[in-house]
Amino acid sequence: MIVLEGVEKWYGEYHALVDVSAEVKAGQVVVLCGPSGSGKSTLIRAMNGLEGISAGSIRVNGEDVQGRGVDINRIRSRIGFVFQQFNLFPHLSVLENVSCGPVWVNHMPRERAHRLALDLLAKVGLEQKAGAYPNQLSGGQQQRVAIARALAMNPPVMLFDEPTSALDPEMVGEVLSVMRALAAEGMTMVCVTHEMKFARDVSDVVWFMDRGTLLEKAPPEQFFDCPAHPRAQAFLSDIRRH
């Protein structure tokens, strides 16, 4: 579903992604972890063309998302992306936030888009908030709306970049449970997260990144119980200490 081959990224003199090759199969859940500044956001953003790369290739669902002349807006509309900041449209209701993609991009009739949005809001437990505006919702609720909005485009893949990092601790669980449910339905997902319990329970593979290099790719039991790379060991013991 996602194939990365020899991906390199330079920010000027800074080598942010170093020869990254990896594959995500359909239905797999990958948790991407690593220290701050290791290149996780750069990599996941490159997967939907938000960030260009310097060399290599990235294919998502058969499409070269970094190819010359690709319609990047179309690619982005086809790959679900959930950010740390929810990025909802403040002047649109929850229902409109979720239905606007299908209406604006796919020209879905408004009625049908509203029904779809209501179904998706029910799925994330927020049907009763359809008429509310983003500033009337808690952070956890806004993030669940953001997930519903991404799902409205019926993407084959969902990418998450630290979706719970901006939330108060009591709201982390409600967002993770929506993500767990998606994973259980077989959605292909790449999640940058520091939620190690989620990683252990839900992921099929953990990718560990440091200094732009994908140092380890392992099933969660193996990654957490006996990480191979010393930097992965140090990262995990750091996380456990906190």
Q: How far apart are CA 140 and CA 147, in angstroms?
A: 11
> Footprint of Mg ion on this chain (CB under 5 A)?
40-41
| Chain centre to alpha carbon of residue 113 | 23
Taking CB under 6 A as the rule, does residue 107 contact ligand ADP?
no
CB of 198 to Mg ion, least distance (A): 17
- Residue 62, binding choice from Mg ion, ligand ADP, none, Cβ under 5 to 8 Å by partner class: none
Q: Which amino acid is at 104?
A: W
For ligand ADP, which is the closer residue by CB, 38 or 142? Answer: 38
**Stretch of 21-29, 40-48, 75-83, 103-111 contacting ligand ADP, by CB under 6 A:** 40-48
- ∠ CA 92-192-26, nearest 5°, is 90
- Residue 37, binding choice from Mg ion, ligand ADP, none, Cβ under 5 to 8 Å by partner class: ligand ADP
| 203, two tokens | 């992921």
- Edge-to-edge strand list for the sheet holding 63-64: 14-24, 2-11, 55-60, 63-64
Q: How far apart are CA 143 and CA 126, in angstroms?
A: 11
- Residue 38, binding choice from Mg ion, ligand ADP, none, Cβ under 5 to 8 Å by partner class: ligand ADP
Site residues for ligand ADP, window 10-29 (CB under 6 A)? 11, 14, 16
- Point out which residues bind ligand ADP (CB under 6 A): 11, 14, 16, 34, 36-42
